[in-house]
Amino acid sequence: MTAGVARDAGAARPPALPLDLSGRTVFVAGAGSAAPGWSIGRASSVTYARLGARVCVVDRDAASAEETTALIRAEGGVAETFVGDIAVEEDVARLFAEAREHFGMVDVLHHNVGIGKTGGPLETSAADFDRIHAVNVRSLLLASQQVLPGMVARGRGAVIAISSVAGMRYLGYPHLAYSVTKAAVIQFTRMLAQQYAPHGVRANTVVPGLIDTPRIATTVASMYSGTSLEQARAARAAQVPLGRMGSAWEVAHACAFLASDAAAYITGTELVVDGGITGKYV
């Protein structure tokens, strides 16, 4: 009887975790870094390559994109640099055409772009708002239009959009255009997921919290008036229930999970990577 139980248990053994992207092409929009170091886009690109994917390293900063590509190739991964502005329709069409010519159809779209401007309604001009919307939201529309036909034709594909906890709650300072557009990214991805689920296409949003990336030095520190960079970093860490900021790698690992077959039954939702901050009352 014991042997029978053992045989039954063996027959019911669940499959191994399929964190493998071999043979797939991932298009990472925003794969460079605003300053030296590991941005979410760069860490995600390297992570995808480590899982066997061919990576389209896309950024409007050619030198930064080439640095990401070089990091992947140094580890034996496969990557190619594509330079252009994901918010410009003509550039988007060209970028995807070049990616298809080089690697074939895109299996995973990783949309990792975002700009902002500190200020509320009175400090945000219509031109500011339009510019931020074009980069943060309209670019997701343009990129989706490029990948969806091929994904539908193959009956599979994954879209991963990077939003922000700023799109879910107020973070203590006015950041209107960024917050509104990052909220729009969440809803856009939910709607895409519902419409294309019958075609085998999954779409999810990764929602990072306070992440320790090079962007802190270039933009975020200025939001903490009268403080040094280290003071700004300490203030951000103190806001998080886990007591620290997250790393770009922790966000990248969440993206890799959603891109893989390990997340085959996950679509139309948000994976929040925030150390617990969105659950806080204050």
CATH of the domain at 175: 3.40.50.720
- Residue 101, token pair as written in the block: 């010519």
- Residue 51, token pair as written in the block: 């899982």
Rg (CA), the chain: 20
Query: Has residue 101 been placed in a domain?
Result: yes
Stronger pLDDT, 256 or 6, i.e. the higher one: 256
Domain count, the chain: 1
Query: Has residue 149 been placed in a domain?
Result: yes
pLDDT tens column, 240-267 = 999 999 999 999 999 999 999 999 999 9
Tell the residue number behind the tokens 């009887």, with chain if given.
1
178 catalytically annotated: yes
Query: Has residue 266 been placed in a domain?
Result: yes
Taking residues 24-32, what's their average pLDDT?
A: 97
Full domain range(s) for residue 28:
19-211+249-272
Which residues have a Cβ under 8 Å from the Cβ of 73 and sit 6 or more positions away?
Answer: 79
φ, ψ dihedrals at 84, nearest 5°: 175, 175
**What is the structure's pLDDT at 2?**
47
Query: Has residue 5 been placed in a domain?
Result: no
Fill in the amino acid letter for 205: T
**What is the structure's pLDDT at 280?**
86
CA-wise closest residue to 203 among 259, 165, 256, 248: 259
Flag whether pLDDT at 17 surpasses 90: no
pTM beyond 0.85: the answer is yes
Query: Has residue 109 been placed in a domain?
Result: yes
Query: Has residue 50 been placed in a domain?
Result: yes
Query: Has residue 223 been placed in a domain?
Result: no
Stronger pLDDT, 229 or 40, i.e. the higher one: 40
- 207 dihedral zone (left: phi>0; alpha: psi -120 to 50; beta): beta
Which of 48, 170, 173, 178 is labelled catalytic?
Answer: 178
What is the rounded distance in angstroms from the CA atom of residue 268 to the CA atom of residue 199? Answer: 14
Which residues have a Cβ under 8 Å from the Cβ of 277 and sit 6 or more positions away?
Answer: 165, 209, 210, 239, 240, 241
Query: Has residue 242 been placed in a domain?
Result: no
